[in-house]
Amino acid sequence: MSLIVHKYGGTSMGSTERIRNVSKRVAKWARAGHQMVVVPSAMSGETNRLLALAKELQPAQVTPAVMRELDTVAATGEQVSVGLLSIALQAEGVDAVSYAGWQVPIDTDSSFTKARIRRIDDARVRADLAAGKVVVITGFQGVDDGGNITTLGRGGSDTSAVAVAAALEADECLIYTDVDGVYTTDPRVVPEARRLETVSFEEMLEMASLGSKVLQIRSVEFAGKYRVPLRVLSSFTDWDIPIEQEAKSGTLITFEEGLKMEQAVVSGIAFNRDEAKITILGVPDKPGVAFRILGPVAEANIDVDMIIQNVSNDGKTDFSFTVHRNDYPRTLDLLRSDVATATGASQVAGDPRICKVSIVGIGMRSHVGVAAKMFRTLSEEGINIQMISTSEIKTSVVIDEKYMELAVRALHRAFELDGEPAVA
Amino acid sequence: MSLIVHKYGGTSMGSTERIRNVSKRVAKWARAGHQMVVVPSAMSGETNRLLALAKELQPAQVTPAVMRELDTVAATGEQVSVGLLSIALQAEGVDAVSYAGWQVPIDTDSSFTKARIRRIDDARVRADLAAGKVVVITGFQGVDDGGNITTLGRGGSDTSAVAVAAALEADECLIYTDVDGVYTTDPRVVPEARRLETVSFEEMLEMASLGSKVLQIRSVEFAGKYRVPLRVLSSFTDWDIPIEQEAKSGTLITFEEGLKMEQAVVSGIAFNRDEAKITILGVPDKPGVAFRILGPVAEANIDVDMIIQNVSNDGKTDFSFTVHRNDYPRTLDLLRSDVATATGASQVAGDPRICKVSIVGIGMRSHVGVAAKMFRTLSEEGINIQMISTSEIKTSVVIDEKYMELAVRALHRAFELDGEPAVA
């Protein structure tokens, strides 16, 4: 008997018929003798609907007091889901009980709309499991010390599931989603993309941070910190496929390198075109220049991704970084009005039509020449590299947006990731 | 400075535009220096939508465990409302904070779907009021000793508002609704019906129990028990009418008879056609006969309203009672199959096409001949009375459904309740 946590996304919970399918799948696992905890998201579209109502009413300035109320409103979507799923489970003849975040309780800090989990009290859940019940817990939310409802931010249900699995020391946390696993790259761009049977935690972390939307990055960090075995698999298989088959499907995110069967140097190609590039030219190269440029950007609550500073030339340097495309005009204004004069820069230039392409692989640690092979491949396709950034297990480049598909396909082939074309 | 509780129904909360109007009205009261607590219902249609989803999933047998989940689901409607209203209030520049039932907390028993309030802890609310905040509290719900969410049943938000007002010893509880007060009878039937400026608690209780839909009967009982001054008024007046005018509009439900300015013997005419009549003829008149007839009916969970037993004649009696029209076929079956033979009755007859018309008035206590005047009025209109039932402050008759409007209009005129015809 294992203790298993299932997490179902909004699409899997999107209608009463789909909820019934989820209940049948969970019932199958429960009847196989497993202790089951389920963390469902809100029904698809529900969180957006609720926040749209709030947006129509909210003041221009969204204070913490307003954010507290946004969380109170948004948290109801998951509360509806846990209630409905528990009802469906009981209709399947399975004893089930639902809990909202505050009922577990899942303690968080008080950062409304983006709270962090601090502690999960597992006593109530363990007692229910011991009594043979399936426990259904709201994703996305918790409660702070003041008894206020908090939410974890978009995609927070993944984090909730992993945190619950960590608190209960679950044997595995299964994330059911609308894709059937983690791929070497996006199959919509590269038909030859292959599903990975396993991927290391660190690779997954890089892929998530690079824009692969399979899992919320915070949930991967959490899984890494508490070493929760995590599996991403499809919720669209028939609910009644044999449990042994289902238990091995999807992609296992693992912490033990010995378990990793695939020895490819590069595990996957990640990419995104959500970013924009900004370059400050001719900045006098004095101590503190990076802070004088990025300090005001951080203060304006703008997230910076890649940061590149070239070596100094004649006491002047060029400084580049990328921000989310939505923040691009605001960042440019900020730099042109305040920062450029303060730093004595000669020019501020920018380009929103870029993309970032990254190769990710734990094998890069022990293999030389991986980055060089990436650069050569792009060069052979005539693609100019604008920025480069590296970490231990990934190399990212910024290129012109229009070459994105070409670059991804070429790299996928060059690193021998191509499999049989996926069936459409 | 007074402490005022406002309650807004689902129609008043039916859209973001209407919620904004509610927030402007509440802000007006807060700016006039009152300490304000607001209890809103779920947005109209929301509770039905949620329960319909649950109904699609629920098992044939609705156990307490299922009812617990129904409450978890249904309670979200009010949670959305309090969050949205608090946001709207903050957009009006008014400091506001929302609480779900469990956050106050509003302690209830564990009768899921029809819980009863046991205790309201007012400490948190009082601290917020002292800090100058408007406090917005969910209607319809509470929390039991086990930390489970409970709901009070349909219309429970009225009860929540009155209970909160009682706990806080509020100066007045204003129930904003889609009618502008309590009328001498339904203006759709009698255009000359007048709005009552005041009505006694006991009269209101009778009218509510007789089918007048203005207030949930439990809320009136609660108001009576804790002597909470209650005012029913319209939420469809412009939000910016002068507060002095608004504070005197609608109908005040009062506990001090000296306050009652209108000295009419009869305050109103109530009626409903939701009932059906069942008569058991020729029952041997032995001790226990009423129980042998009504015991099985109660066991079948059928509510009985009027009960009449005629004096015995030749050791046999006729026994009549009314049930809700929906329960009529089931009741008839039950009596014909089991009860009639068990009691030795000669015949079971029934009629679903009846209506009940009642005159209600605290003045009836001290005036003789009120019932006689009622019977004479109906007789003059050629209306046959089938059943009669009386209490200290009301007299009800059952008549043929087709005479309902005629009877109500004649009685309204006879008891001098007619005012100027209402403007259409």
Which residues of chain A are within 8 Å of residue B150 when distances are taken between CB atoms? Answer: none
Taking the C-alpha atoms of residue A265 and residue B394, their distance in angstroms, rounded to an integer, is 89
pLDDT band of A422, cuts 50, 70, 90: very low
Q: What is the mean pLDDT of chain A?
A: 89
Residue B373 confidence (pLDDT) above 70:
yes
Mean pLDDT of B122-126: 96
Taking the C-alpha atoms of residue A338 and residue A333, their distance in angstroms, rounded to an integer, is 8
Complete edge-to-edge strand list for the sheet that includes strand A354-360: A268-272, A354-360, A394-400, A385-391
pLDDT at A257: 58
Tell me whether residues A66 and B90 touch, CB distance under 8 A: yes
- Interface predicted TM-score (ipTM) over 0.90: no
Give the residue with greater pLDDT, B215 vs B113.
B113
Taking the C-alpha atoms of residue A161 and residue B113, their distance in angstroms, rounded to an integer, is 29
Sequence-ordered alpha helix ranges (H) in A58-200: 64-74, 76-91, 123-130, 156-167
Which residues of chain A are within 8 Å of residue B50 when distances are taken between CB atoms? Answer: 80
Tell me whether residues B90 and A58 touch, CB distance under 8 A: yes
Residue A324 confidence (pLDDT) above 50:
yes
Residue B263 confidence (pLDDT) above 60:
no
- Bridge partners for B284 per DSSP: B316
Residue B166 confidence (pLDDT) above 90:
yes
Taking the C-alpha atoms of residue A163 and residue A101, their distance in angstroms, rounded to an integer, is 12
Taking the C-alpha atoms of residue A133 and residue A98, their distance in angstroms, rounded to an integer, is 10
pLDDT at A136: 98
- The alpha carbon of A222 is separated from its chain's Cα centroid by a whole number of angstroms, namely 11
Residue B111 confidence (pLDDT) above 90:
yes
Tell the CATH topology of A263-424. VC0802-like (3.30.2130)
pLDDT at B3: 97
- Bridge partners for B359 per DSSP: B269, B395
Query: Which residues make up the CATH 3.30.2130.10 domain(s) of chain A?
Result: 263-424
Q: What Cα–Cα distance (Å) separates residue B229 from each residue in A222, B204, B252?
A: 54, 12, 7
Tell me whether residues A147 and B76 touch, CB distance under 8 A: no
Mean pLDDT of A218-230: 87
Q: What is the mean pLDDT of chain B?
A: 89
pLDDT at A212: 65
pLDDT band of A262, cuts 50, 70, 90: very low
pLDDT band of A344, cuts 50, 70, 90: confident
Which residues of chain B are within 8 Å of residue A57 when distances are taken between CB atoms? Answer: 16, 19-20, 23, 84, 87-88, 91
pLDDT band of B420, cuts 50, 70, 90: low
pLDDT at B211: 62
pLDDT band of A125, cuts 50, 70, 90: very high
Tell me whether residues B73 and A95 touch, CB distance under 8 A: no
Mean pLDDT of A127-138: 98
Chain A: nearest CA to B15, how far in angstroms? 9
C-beta separation of A378 from A339 below 8 A: no
Touching check for A54 and chain B: CB below 8 Å? yes
| Residue in A19, A62, A82, A84 to test binding to B, most B beta-carbons within 10 Å | A84
C-beta separation of B173 from B229 below 8 A: yes
Residue B341 confidence (pLDDT) above 70:
yes
**The domain at B3-179+214-228 falls in which architecture?**
3-Layer(aba) Sandwich (3.40)
Taking the C-alpha atoms of residue A129 and residue A123, their distance in angstroms, rounded to an integer, is 10
| Residue in B55, B66, B72 to test binding to A, most A beta-carbons within 10 Å | B72
Chain A: nearest CA to B305, how far in angstroms? 34
Which residues of chain B are within 8 Å of residue A56 when distances are taken between CB atoms? Answer: 16
Question: By mean pLDDT, which of B58-72, B169-183, B214-228 is the weakest?
Answer: B214-228
Touching check for B259 and chain A: CB below 8 Å? no
Tell me whether residues A91 and B57 touch, CB distance under 8 A: yes
- Bridge partners for A283 per DSSP: A317
- Beta-carbon contacts of B27 under 8 Å, excluding residues fewer than 6 positions away, are B89, B92, B93, B94, B134
**The domain at A3-179+214-258 falls in which architecture?**
3-Layer(aba) Sandwich (3.40)
The two tokens of residue A105 are 């309780």
Sequence-ordered alpha helix ranges (H) in A335-403: 340-343, 370-380
| Residue type at position B13 | M
Complete edge-to-edge strand list for the sheet that includes strand A134-137: A96-99, A134-137, A35-40, A3-8, A172-177, A230-234, A251-254, A198-200
Query: Which residues make up the CATH 3.30.2130.10 domain(s) of chain B?
Result: 258-424
Tell me whether residues B50 and A80 touch, CB distance under 8 A: yes
Residue A24 parent element (H or E): helix A16-31
Touching check for A97 and chain B: CB below 8 Å? yes
| Residue type at position B404 | M
pLDDT at B369: 79
Which residues of chain A are within 8 Å of residue B102 when distances are taken between CB atoms? Answer: 102
CA of A54: which chain B residue's CA is closest? B84
Across the interface, of A16, A76, A96, the residue whose CB is closest to B76 is A76
The two tokens of residue B247 are 């504070």
Which residues of chain A are within 8 Å of residue B79 when distances are taken between CB atoms? Answer: 72-73, 75-76, 79
Which homologous superfamily is B258-424 in? VC0802-like (3.30.2130.10)
Taking each helix axis from N to C end, the angle separating B64-74 and B76-91, rounded to the nearest 10 degrees, works out to 20
DSSP 8-state class, residue B335 = I
Residue A24: phi, psi to the nearest 5?
Answer: -65, -40
Peptide bond into A105 cis (omega under 30): yes
pLDDT at B262: 47
Chain B: nearest CA to A66, how far in angstroms? 6
Tens-place pLDDT, residues A89-109: 999 999 999 999 999 999 999
The two tokens of residue B4 are 């005022």
Across the interface, of A57, A83, A84, the residue whose CB is closest to B87 is A57
The two tokens of residue A336 are 């042109």
The two tokens of residue A207 are 């892929």
Size of interface A-B (CB pairs under 8 A): 116
Query: Which residues make up the CATH 3.40.1160.10 domain(s) of chain A?
Result: 3-179+214-258
Q: What Cα–Cα distance (Å) separates residue A326 from each residue in A52, A59, A217, A303?
A: 19, 21, 20, 11
Mean pLDDT of A48-52: 96
| Residue type at position A402 | K
pLDDT at A155: 74
Tens-place pLDDT, residues A234-254: 988 999 999 999 999 999 998
| Residue in B69, B94, B128 to test binding to A, most A beta-carbons within 10 Å | B69
Give the residue with greater pLDDT, B271 vs B343.
B271
Tens-place pLDDT, residues A158-188: 999 999 999 999 999 999 988 888 889 888 8
| Residue in B26, B47, B90 to test binding to A, most A beta-carbons within 10 Å | B90
CA of B61: which chain A residue's CA is closest? A91
Give the residue with greater pLDDT, B297 vs B99.
B99
CB atoms within 10 A of CB A342: 12
Torsion over CA: B126, B127, B132, B135 (sign) = negative
Query: Which residues make up the CATH 3.40.1160.10 domain(s) of chain B?
Result: 3-179+214-228
pLDDT band of A264, cuts 50, 70, 90: low
Tell me whether residues A90 and B59 touch, CB distance under 8 A: yes
Tens-place pLDDT, residues B172-215: 999 998 888 888 888 888 888 899 998 888 888 888 766 667 78
pLDDT band of A263, cuts 50, 70, 90: low
Give the residue with greater pLDDT, B149 vs B361.
B149
pLDDT band of B422, cuts 50, 70, 90: very low
CA of A133: which chain B residue's CA is closest? B65
Tens-place pLDDT, residues B22-54: 999 999 999 999 999 999 999 999 999 999 999
